Amino acid sequence: MSIPTMYHLILERISWHVLPRVPEPEQIMHDPSQNAAFMEAGDEDGFLAFSYFYHALQITPLILHGDRVLDLACGPANQLVQIARLNPHSHFVGLDASVNMLDKARTTLLRHGLGNVELISGDMTRLVGIDDASMDCVICTMSLHHLPDLEALSGTMCEVRRVLKQGGGLYFVDFGRLKRASTQRFFSEDQRDCQSAQFTQDYINSLRAAFSVGELSNSVAAFGPDVVRHLTPLAPFMVVFKSAARRNLDTATQHLAQEIYRRMSMAQQKNFQALALWFRRGGYDLPCALT
């Protein structure tokens, strides 16, 4: 972890100030330039690919062969591709409210040749057309902050409880609201040499729109004590809510994960290990080692 990062995290830790939540200017990404910037950042060669792979690996122990998995606000499907590739014997449903994002998601799936994913248009606060107890696992990665308010967050959780089977898997991850505006600016601009000006602006908007750890925890509490919260230490840059593992990773899955990791660039591997170490220091480890 760099010295500037540690500096901001320590100041976050000792600060008593609480920033208000600032909802994003638009909850749905309709702007083509926004969509393109987000898709580019999460592509295999993009600077966010390491983060998507990290969460894909953490999600995989929740998914059994033959499961039906719902991905809320799947966006351009960069995250969904990572998960579906690690779980080829399961079926995935990517839901998003943006027509433009779904168009990009279709392009992503075609490029990767994945046949175990379907895409549907929908609002995660009202999962219209999805039957009760029809999903074995529900995931949402870095998208809850797009919701306009706590009522929408609560509505989303009610819908997830409705469509999720008893004993099914659950994985939510998002930003936690930071205490200092300067920390928000630091994280949004830390990789500015690798990201577009549009992405930087969207990033700072996302950090400002993050719900607090308490707000997220209260919304997830109805799922019971089996859903455990994990935080990045010193500051809740990321907050994970994860249900108990439903399987251990088999040898074939571990080998596939290792192969994907080895194809990553040195910079991506370095960022992956840094994120893994940051969470590990808070007691949240990977389901298998990667070298």
pLDDT at site 30: 55
- What is the radius of gyration, based on Cα positions, of the chain? 18
pLDDT band, residue 48 (cuts 50/70/90):
confident
pLDDT at site 27: 56
The overall average pLDDT reported for the chain is 92
Q: What percent of the chain has pLDDT over 70?
A: 92
- Supply the angle between the helices 3-14 and 181-189 in degrees, to the nearest 10: 160
**CATH value of 3-280 in 3.30.70.1350, 3.30.420.480, 3.40.640.10, 3.40.50.150:** 3.40.50.150
> Comparing C-alpha atoms, which of 32, 112, 31, 29 is closest to residue 74?
29
Does 121 score more than 80 pLDDT?
yes
Least confident range from 15-19, 95-99, 242-246: namely 15-19
- What residues have CB less than 8 Å from 17, skipping those under 6 apart? 179, 180
Whole-angstrom Cα distance, residue 82 to residue 188? 24
pLDDT at site 137: 98
CA 161 centroid distance within chain: 19
Give kind and range of the element (H or E) at residue 270. helix 266-280
pLDDT at site 148: 96
pLDDT at site 42: 46
pLDDT tens column, 145-170: 999 999 999 999 999 999 999 999 99
Q: What is the CB neighbour count within 10 angstroms for residue 262?
A: 10
More confident residue, 141 or 43: 141
pLDDT at site 29: 55
pTM for this one?
0.93
Average pLDDT value for residue range 1-13? 85
